[in-house]
Structure 1
C-alpha cells in the first residue's frame, strides 16, 4: 500500500473563468478584470506548462480535454467530483455548485480503462445533492492510505454524516475538525481541507493556526504524530498563497516529488523548504491565473489514479 501514485488524471480547460457559483464560499477566488477568453487562454498555457513539468520527471499524466458544452468553468479541478481507489472502486461526489455537477463525465472512466486500468465498482454519493448535502472528493477528504485515516475540515462543502459514510464504505478512520480563515474580520470556514493541509508519505504540511479549537488541533497533531509524520506548520498567510494545496506524486525510478504552485513555493521559508527537501524534491509551476480566478491550485488540478491495472 502506497500513499502516492505515479498516475494523475487532469482535465484541460476550455471555458475556465471565475465561477460565480463557487465564489460565495471560496474566499480564495478573485476577479481578474480581463475577458473570459483571455483568462481561459492564460489558464490553458499554465495547465500545459504544468503537465510538461510533471511528465518531464516521469509522472504518468492522463490529460482529458474538456468540452464547450456543458459550461463547466471549474472542470480543471477534477479531484472534487471523483476519486480512484486501489481496490478498483471509484467515488462520485455531491457538489455544492450546480454548474460543477456537470463536470462528472463517464467518458473519463472509459479513457482510464483504455489506458489499462480496472474499474470494479462505482460508489455514488451524488443523490445527497437533493438534500443539499455535499462532500467534494479529495478536496474535502485527505486520505492517509497507509494508516487508513481520513481527515476532513467541515464546511458547507463537507458534510460530517456524509464523510462518516464515506469512511465506513472505504474503511478509513475519520479525523474530523473545523478550519477557519479571516474574511473581512470574521472567522469563516475554509471551503476545502486540501487548501490548509497536505499529507505526504512521511510528513504533513498543515496550517494549524486555522484550527481554532485547541482540542481539535491537538487531536489532528496527535493523529499525525502517531503515524510518524513530521509536521511542517504553515501560517495563514502562506495558506493564502496555496502552500497547503500540495500533492506528493511519484516520478520515474520511484522518486517522490512534492508538487505545488510557484506562489506556494515562493511563500515557504528556507527552513520549511529544507525540511521538505529532506524527504523529496519540490516541483513547482506558475499557476497564477488558475489560482486567482479558480481559488484552487496544484493539488486541486490532479486526480490521483490508484486503480489496479488489468
Structure 2
C-alpha cells in the first residue's frame, strides 16, 4: 500500500466558495444535479463552504498537500469544481480547458496557475480555452478519466467532451483516446466521465452497465485489466450515489481513495474489501456540494508536478 504511484497525486488544489449554489446553466444535461428548494441560499452557501474546509483539513491531516483558494464571486456557482478547467501532468505540463457553460468559463484564474509555477516545476502551459469561441469544449478531468500508467484517456461523448479537442489533448500529452457512449436511467448521455469511473493504481471503479454498447463495454474492461487492475463494477444506483466520483491520492501513510460519505455508504463489503487491499478509504460529507451534481473527485484538481521544495505544512491557503 505504501508504494508510490504516478496515478496518485500527493497534492491538490481546492476552491472554497462563498456563493455556492447548484448552477442553473448546467442543469439541462446534468442528471446528477438537484435543487434544494427548501434550503435558503445563504444556508446552502455556508454549508458548502464548511464542507470544503473540513475536507481540506481532513486531507491535510492525512498528509496530502492541499492548496486552498477562496472564491468570492457571485457569478461562478460551480467554482468548487476546479478539476474541470485545468489539469497538471508529470514532466511539468499544465493544460487549461474550454468550458461548456458561459458562467463556468469565468472560473479560470491566473493566481492558481501562478501558484503552480512558483511552487512546482512547470515547463509549459497549453491553453485550449480559445476553442470556446468555436463551441468546442473539453472539461478537463471531468470529461476525461486519465490512466497515467497505461496512458489512456477515457471519455464519454457529451456536450462537455468534443472529440476534436480530445484528440488534440491526447497528441500533446501522449495519451490514447478511448471514447464511448454512456447513458443514465433515462437514456441521456452521462455529462462527465468521472462520475462513471475512477482509475486507481491497482483497481478501477466502473459503471459498466451504463455503457449500452456491450462490445465497447468489454473493450474498456479488458483495457483496464491489461494494466493489472481489478475492475470493480458499480451498479446504476451506486453511480447515482457518486461511488464512481472518487480519486486516489498519496498521503503520509500511503495511498488512499478519497470519496464522499454518500459514495462509501453505497458500496458493499466486497467492493470495499477489494479497494482496501490497495488503498485506505477516506470519506467526507459533501452532501450540500453534491446538490450541484458533482462530488469529491470533482472538488480536487490533482497536482502531478514535481515540487520546487518540500512543503513545511500540508494545508496551504492562498493569499487573498
TM-score (norm 1): 0.95
Unaligned runs of 5+ in 1: none
Within the candidate set 68, 76, 79, 1:75 is matched to 79
Aligned residue pairs: how many? 303
Cα contact 2:100–2:160 (8 A) shared by 1: yes
* Counterpart Cα distance in 2 of 1:85 and 1:35: 40
* Counterpart Cα distance in 2 of 1:68 and 1:21: 16
Within the candidate set 141, 148, 151, 2:151 is matched to 148
* Corresponding residue for residue 41 of structure 1: 46
* Corresponding residue for residue 109 of structure 1: 113
Post-superposition offset of 1:177 = 0.8
3-state SS in 2 of match to 1:260: strand
Unaligned runs of 5+ in 2: 309-320
Post-superposition offset of 1:35 = 2.0
* Corresponding residue for residue 248 of structure 1: 248
Within the candidate set 52, 61, 64, 1:59 is matched to 64
* Counterpart Cα distance in 2 of 1:13 and 1:188: 29
Post-superposition offset of 1:308 = 2.3
* Corresponding residue for residue 303 of structure 1: 301
Post-superposition offset of 1:117 = 0.8
Post-superposition offset of 1:113 = 3.2
Provide, for residues 259-292 of structure 1, a one-character-per-residue CA deviation record: whole Å limited to 9, x for no partner. Answer: 1000000000111111111111100010111001
3-state SS in 1 of match to 2:21: coil
* Corresponding residue for residue 12 of structure 1: 16
* Corresponding residue for residue 287 of structure 1: 286
1:261 aligns with 2:260: yes
Provide, for residues 222-277 of structure 1, a one-character-per-residue CA deviation record: whole Å limited to 9, x for no partner. Answer: 11111111000000111000000000000014x00001000000000111111111
* Counterpart Cα distance in 1 of 2:127 and 2:145: 18
Post-superposition offset of 1:67 = 2.7
3-state SS in 2 of match to 1:284: strand
Cα contact 2:6–2:304 (8 A) shared by 1: no
TM-score (norm 2): 0.92
Post-superposition offset of 1:61 = 0.5
- After TM superposition, which residue ranges in structure 1, 4 or more long, deviate above 4 angstroms? none
Within the candidate set 128, 133, 137, 2:131 is matched to 128
* Counterpart Cα distance in 2 of 1:154 and 1:259: 26
* Counterpart Cα distance in 1 of 2:215 and 2:141: 24
* Counterpart Cα distance in 2 of 1:216 and 1:161: 20
Provide, for residues 152-180 of structure 1, a one-character-per-residue CA deviation record: whole Å limited to 9, x for no partner. Answer: 11111011121111111101111111111
Post-superposition offset of 1:295 = 0.5
3-state SS in 2 of match to 1:189: coil
* Counterpart Cα distance in 2 of 1:68 and 1:302: 19
1:227-246 to 2 correspondence within 5 Å?
A: 227-246=227-246
* Counterpart Cα distance in 2 of 1:284 and 1:245: 12
Post-superposition offset of 1:32 = 0.6
Post-superposition offset of 1:213 = 0.4
* Corresponding residue for residue 25 of structure 1: 29
Post-superposition offset of 1:25 = 0.5
Post-superposition offset of 1:118 = 2.1
* Corresponding residue for residue 138 of structure 1: 141
Within the candidate set 101, 110, 113, 1:97 is matched to 101
Provide, for residues 17-73 of structure 1, a one-character-per-residue CA deviation record: whole Å limited to 9, x for no partner. Answer: 01000111111111112222111101011111111111111111110111326x210
